[in-house]
Structure 1
């Protein structure tokens, strides 16, 4: 029920704005494996307002380049179609896998903060913030071609 409610919220935001967290499916089978996309966080964060890139894939699909492939597509949409000047991402300090993906995407860690949506004293409350601006992303695309 919780997962369905989140999917409904994601769909409503996409219908409202035309973008958001998109479902990720395997090309071969069409199986749903998670989401990747762009979002405006509802929590008041120290760097608000902003647009974040985020992802959540089922563990069976980690380490296969799927989040990376989908994240690149989301960044192209953000900097191209939406003409954003900067896209952020953040995660709990201990989330090494997400941090590694942020770095592969060319994002740079800029600060740490206490996430207001995580209870005080919880081990995941401390987060790190990564940033990527349009110029750096364009340079990465040019270098890849």
Structure 2
């Protein structure tokens, strides 16, 4: 998609993973556009960086305390010269090996040479898809 002075999808996902692993809601929220939409697998929708950040403070302090993230891009498609659609497999856990149990779609836009997410959708995997992506 982008010239060499641009961000990469892998670097974006690394920033997202690092923020999650550090339980840093501010750094996690900074990976999303000011007006981003964020739909979780349970069916809740968050709108805007402030709500994403605020909600993840609770996520990191309560429901997912001490967890780490696994995430890997399985498809990247250019939308235009500044945007890509990325499908990932991901998981959250506390063990050494974190199994993939979610499919996510990210719409990433390059702003000032760095990707930010403008729309995120997280969906639980079917048993068939879990088996496909977790076999070694």
TM-score, normalised relative to structure 1: 0.24
The higher relative CO (CA closer than 8 Å, separation ≥ 6) is in: 2
- Greater strand share, structure number: 2
- Greater helix share, structure number: 1
